[in-house]
Amino acid sequence: MVNPDARAGAAPQLRPKTSEGHAAEIEAMIAPAIESLGYEIVRVLLSGDRRGKLQVMAERKSDGGMDVEDCAAVSRAIEAILDVEDPIPGGYVLEVSSPGIDRPLTRPKDFETYAGFEARLELAVPVEGRRRFKGRLLGMDGDTVRLETDEGELQVGFEDLAKAKLVLTDELIDASMGRTGDAG
C-alpha cells in the first residue's frame, strides 16, 4: 500500500512535528536556551482550560538520555524565559520529562533511529480510507516514512503524519535497557 503523494528522493529539510499552534510559538522561544544546554526538544504541548499545562519532552543531544537532574536543568531554563516573556495567560503548570520508552516520533531522525521497532502512525489524510496504522518502522526514504504493516509496506510523506509513536514491546524495552537503539 503506497501513498501516491509520498515522494522519495534526496533528504529534504523537513520541519519536525514537535509542536503546533501556540505551543510552537513557545517552543521557538525556549529552544535556543535548551539547545545551548545540550538538549533537544522532542515535543511541546500546551493543554488545559483554566489552569494550563505546558509539557516539554526533551533529551540530551549526546546520548538521548534524560534523568531527574536533566529535567530540573531544562525546567529552570524554561521558567527563566517564561517568567520574562509571559506567553501563557493566567496560571499554568510546567512539566518537563523524558520522552519515555514508547516515545512520540516527531523528527525525521526519530524514524531512522527507531527503524526496526513497532510503531503506530496516525495520518492527517486517509490512505485507502484509513488514518491509523501499526507496524514495523523501516526508516525513511527522503521525505517518506516507511512502515511494514500486516497488509504490506505503507509509504507516507512525513508531512502527512498527524502523530507517530513507538509501541511498548519487550524488544523495545530490551533495547532501551541496553541503550542500543537497534532492533536487531
Query: The sheet that has 92-97: what strands, in order across it?
Result: 39-47, 52-60, 92-97
Confidence tier at 154 by pLDDT (50, 70, 90): very high
What pLDDT, on a 0 to 100 scale, did the predictor assign at position 2?
42
Question: Terminus-to-terminus CA distance in the chain, angstroms?
Answer: 25
8 A C-beta contact, residue 41 and residue 57:
yes
* Mean local confidence (pLDDT), 9-33: 86
pLDDT at 148: 98
44-102 tens-digit pLDDT: 999 986 778 999 999 999 999 999 999 999 999 999 999 999 998 888 999 999 999 99
**123 Cβ neighbours under 8 A, 6+ residues apart:** 130, 131, 132, 133, 156, 160, 161, 162
Average pLDDT of every residue of the chain: 90
C-alpha cell at 113: 533511529
66-84 b/e with 16+ CB inside 10 Å = b? beeebbebbbebbeebbee
Given a contact cutoff of 8 angstroms between Cβ atoms, the answer to whether 155 and 138 are in contact is no
* Domains in the chain with CATH codes: 22-97 (3.30.300.70), 108-178 (2.30.30.180)
User: Can you tell me whether residue 166 is helix, strand or coil?
Assistant: strand
